[in-house]
Amino acid sequence: MVKLGVVVTAVVAVLITIVLTSGITTVVGNNNNAAGGIGLVNVSCNAAIGPWDAGGADKGKNDASNLNEEQRGVVAKIISIGQERQLPPLAWQVAIQAGMTESGLRPLNYGDADSLGIFQMRPSMGWGSPAQVIDPVYAINKFYDVLLTVPDWASKRPGDSAQAVERSAFPDRYHAWEAMAAFLIGDLGQVADPAGCGASNGNILAASSAAAKAIAFTKEQLGEPYLWGGNGPDAWDCSGILVKAFATADIQLPRVANDQYMHGGAFLPVKEAQPGDLIFWATNPADPVTVHHVALYLGNDEYIHAPQTGDVVKISKINWDYYELMPMAVRPGV
């Protein structure tokens, strides 16, 4: 349900520092995805919207294949109006995710209370007349108008920006369509790599200075014993050690593993993980609630973690085909 006023309730600490005026993002990384020998490189990309070239492509394509002609027409209109207004692909992405969540990308003439149209705008809240908010052209332009008033919207995860406009009681639901929206930007918008972090740059989008600090802290705990609920300084559980590790870089993570998966940062395919990303295991990888273990990826198929009772903080080799491995990794702070 949309409200007219836009209030940003939290300042999101970003893993990558995005310099909007120059388009240059400073990241610490290397070309071989290794944890050692990290150097400073400049990449012209917006890491907040991820490396799309490999990021969630299969899921995005599958979700998009279920759209009908009317829905794809709405997407095309969102993109064309965004282009006419010279807005970046990230703005189209936010609008697509919001529209899919609110109405299934349809100009509905009904909704909760007096909510109407693609974005379920409420005439009673000042979004326009019923006829206006049902009209796709009006609604899309109105959505963009409000999006542009959201502070730092261009450095946020798209679903978070959608929530800032929509002010939903269910803020996390917009993330569900992230991969589909990214695919549609490439498919209908003919923008193969809206973030600028794809084929040419994705392999060096490695650990930032924040992730490097988290890795360094975690390595300092090697050999410390596992303790369920352990928050240090001399014993740790799998999620507790990462809370403290990223706190050294002023990034706040949720306390438990499944919350770190759901709310810890931006998703990317686990096989595209870079040093400093979080990787997860679950009894049922299709259900995030069943996530039971988290680790910090180091590169070169290695991760550091606090495994279980009777064990110690250590570095292990990853089995990419293990059936409990979650299909997505999380990049904290993005």
Reported as a single tens digit per residue, the pLDDT across 285-312 is 988 899 999 999 998 899 999 999 999 9
Task: Show Cβ contacts of residue 281 under 8 Å, excluding neighbours closer than 6 positions.
Answer: 291, 292, 293, 294, 322, 324, 325, 326
Query: Do 183 and 229 fall into the same domain?
Result: no
Rounded Cα distance between 264 and 25, Å, is: 21
Tens digits of per-residue pLDDT, 138-159? 999 999 999 999 998 887 778 8
Tens digits of per-residue pLDDT, 90-112? 899 999 999 999 999 999 999 99
Query: Do 174 and 83 fall into the same domain?
Result: yes
Asked if 116 and 123 count as a contact pair (C-beta separation under 8 A), the reply is yes
Domain end call among 132, 152, 187: 187
**Mean pLDDT lowest among 116-125, 171-180, 313-322:** 171-180
Q: Which residue has the tokens 């349900």?
A: 1
Query: Do 178 and 215 fall into the same domain?
Result: no
Query: Do 220 and 294 fall into the same domain?
Result: yes
Q: How many domains would you assign to the chain?
A: 2
Query: Do 179 and 224 fall into the same domain?
Result: no
Rounded average pLDDT over 191-212:
52
Q: Considering the domain boundaries, does residue 110 fall inside one? A: yes
Domain end call among 127, 153, 187: 187
Query: Do 302 and 212 fall into the same domain?
Result: yes
Asked if 56 and 181 count as a contact pair (C-beta separation under 8 A), the reply is no
Rounded average pLDDT over 115-141:
96
Helix (H, G, I), strand (E, B) or coil at 108: coil
Query: Do 217 and 305 fall into the same domain?
Result: yes
Rounded Cα distance between 146 and 17, Å, is: 24
Pull the structure tokens for residue 145. 């108008």
Q: Please compute, for residue 283, the number of CA atoms within 13 A of its CA located in the half-sphere on the CB side.
A: 3
Query: Does 180 score more than 70 pLDDT?
Result: yes
Supply angle C-alpha 256, 258, 262, rounded to 5.
115
Rounded Cα distance between 111 and 102, Å, is: 9
- At residue 120, the pLDDT reads 96
Query: Do 133 and 164 fall into the same domain?
Result: yes
User: Mean pLDDT across the chain, nearest whole number?
Assistant: 79
Q: Considering the domain boundaries, does residue 252 fall inside one? A: yes
Query: What is the model's pTM?
Result: 0.50
The residue that leads in pLDDT, 27 or 197, is: 197
- At residue 90, the pLDDT reads 87
Query: Do 86 and 157 fall into the same domain?
Result: yes
Residue type, 8: V
- At residue 261, the pLDDT reads 93
The residue that leads in pLDDT, 19 or 320, is: 320
Domain end call among 124, 154, 187: 187
Distance of CA 193 to the CA centre of its chain: 16
Rounded average pLDDT over 184-197:
71
| HEC letters along the chain | CCCCCCCCCCCCCCCCEEECCCCEEEEEECCCCCCCCCEEEEECCCHHHCCCCCCCHHHHHHHHHCCCHHHHHHHHHHHHHHHHCCCCHHHHHHHHHHHHHHHCCCCCCCCCCCCECCCCECHHHCCCCHHHHHCHHHHHHHHHHHHCCCCCHHHCCHHHHHHHHHCCCCHHHHHHHHHHHHHHHHHCCCCCCCCCCCCCCHHHCCCCHHHHHHHHHHHHCCCCEECCCCECCCCECCCHHHHHHHHCCCCCCCCCHHHHHHHCEEEEEHHHCCCCCEEEEECCCCCHHHEEEEEEEEECCEEEECCCCCCECEEEECCCCCCCECCEEEEECC
Rounded Cα distance between 166 and 12, Å, is: 18
- In DSSP terms, 42 is beta-bridged to 26
Query: Do 143 and 220 fall into the same domain?
Result: no
Task: Show Cβ contacts of residue 190 under 8 Å, excluding neighbours closer than 6 positions.
Answer: none
Q: Which domain holds residue 218?
A: 207-332
Q: Considering the domain boundaries, does residue 290 fall inside one? A: yes
Tens digits of per-residue pLDDT, 218-257? 999 999 999 999 999 999 999 999 999 999 988 999 999 9
Q: Considering the domain boundaries, does residue 5 fall inside one? A: no
Q: Please compute, for residue 333, the number of CA atoms within 13 A of its CA located in the half-sphere on the CB side.
A: 25
